[in-house]
Structure 1
């Protein structure tokens, strides 16, 4: 079964999970900015590429605490269960934003490469977890 190379999500899921209104740029990117407890979470979705950038910045010092890009091969869903409220980015593979080449994209979307789910929450605090 070929893996999907375009991001799949419902807009309401992202609005519920991030509690932020997106902005769109001329290159087709959707950008979310969430401020919470002295942190700024930046989430950018590149739908046609199947990529999501996640950056976490401490507002007081402007220190970057986390900065990564993942190829998302599954669907993005909002969940509200016993673990809390969070977005689940199914079947993710970490990719290098700096050296992103077509070969790396092909490898990231290969069915032979095992992916992990990434969970992203903003309540009760900002967290990023790979399962």
Structure 2
């Protein structure tokens, strides 16, 4: 049985986790921009595709420090616990957005492929962690 390809999330969870208001584009993507301590985090949610783009940029030099896309096969949740305040993207698989084909998309959502949980925090500083 294939996994669900549509993002599973509550808008309030993402708003709390990223502390910002998204901008929607004509293709159905929601884009968040978070600035903190000389860094800018760009988060794009592609709900219909089940994908999330994450780009971390150093604002003074405009150097891209991290740029990745994940297929999110689980639920996106906001957590506020002893580890802090963060978004949890359950069951993620890294994908190559530059050469993404239908076959690669099928493979990313295959139940036979092991995924990892991604934790994203914006305070006290921006951090991304694969568990």
| TM-score, length basis structure 1 | 0.99
Whole-angstrom distance in 2 between the partners of 1:112 and 1:10: 27
Matches within 5 A, 1:89-100: 89-100=89-100
Aligned partners of 2:111, 2:79: CA distance in 1, in Å?
Answer: 26
Deviations 1:24-69 (A, max 9, x none): 0000000000000000000000001000000000000000000000
- Write the deviation string for residues 69-121 of structure 1: whole angstroms up to 9, x where unpaired: 00000000000011000000000000001000000000000000000000000
Superposed counterparts of 1:5-84, under 5 Å? 5-84=5-84
TM-score w.r.t. length of structure 2: 0.99
**How large is the Cα RMSD of the aligned pairs?**
0.6
Residue 129, structure 1, aligned to residue 126, structure 2: no
Unaligned 5+ residue runs, structure 1? none
Where does structure 2 lack aligned partners over 5 or more consecutive residues?
A: none
Q: C-alpha separation between the residues in 1 aligned to 2:106 and 2:14? A: 27
How many residues get paired?
131
Provide the secondary structure at the position in 1 that maps to 2:9: coil
